[in-house]
Amino acid sequence: MKNKLIFNLILLLMVALGCADTPAIAKEAEKPDTAVASAVTTGTPALEVPEWYFDFGEVKEGTDYVHAFVIRNKGTGVLEIKKVQPG
C-alpha cells in the first residue's frame, strides 16, 4: 500500500508540473532553437507548496487513499524538480 501511495504522489507531481501555467515558455516555444535556452536562463524559479504535510489519520489495510499536493512555480524561471523522496 505504501508503494501505491508513493507512486500516486509522484504521478500527481508530474501531472501538476505538466499543467503549470507557463505562457511565457509557450510563446518562446514558437521560436525554433531558442526556446529552451531562453526559458532556462531567464528568471528565478520560486517553489510554492501550500501544504507540505498531510495526515491520513487511521487507515485500513487494503484500502487506497489519495491526496493531491499542489505545487506551483511562483517565480519567473523554469522550476526543475530533479528528485522526489517520500518521507
Confidence at residue 58, expressed as pLDDT on a 0 to 100 scale = 94
* 74: β partners: none
Q: Is residue 80 part of a domain?
A: no
Q: Is residue 45 part of a domain?
A: yes
Q: Is residue 82 part of a domain?
A: no
Q: Is residue 14 part of a domain?
A: yes
Pairwise CA distance, residues 16 & 66, whole Å:
15
Pairwise CA distance, residues 65 & 7, whole Å:
12
Confidence at residue 7, expressed as pLDDT on a 0 to 100 scale = 56
Confidence at residue 56, expressed as pLDDT on a 0 to 100 scale = 92
Q: Is residue 78 part of a domain?
A: no
Q: Structurally, how many domains does the chain consist of?
A: 1
- Tell me the per-residue pLDDT of 25-74, one tens digit each, with 9 for 90 and over: 444 444 444 444 444 567 999 999 999 889 999 999 999 999 998 999 99
Confidence at residue 24, expressed as pLDDT on a 0 to 100 scale = 47
Q: Is residue 34 part of a domain?
A: yes
Q: Give residue 47's domain range.
A: 2-73
Q: Is residue 87 part of a domain?
A: no
Q: Is residue 85 part of a domain?
A: no
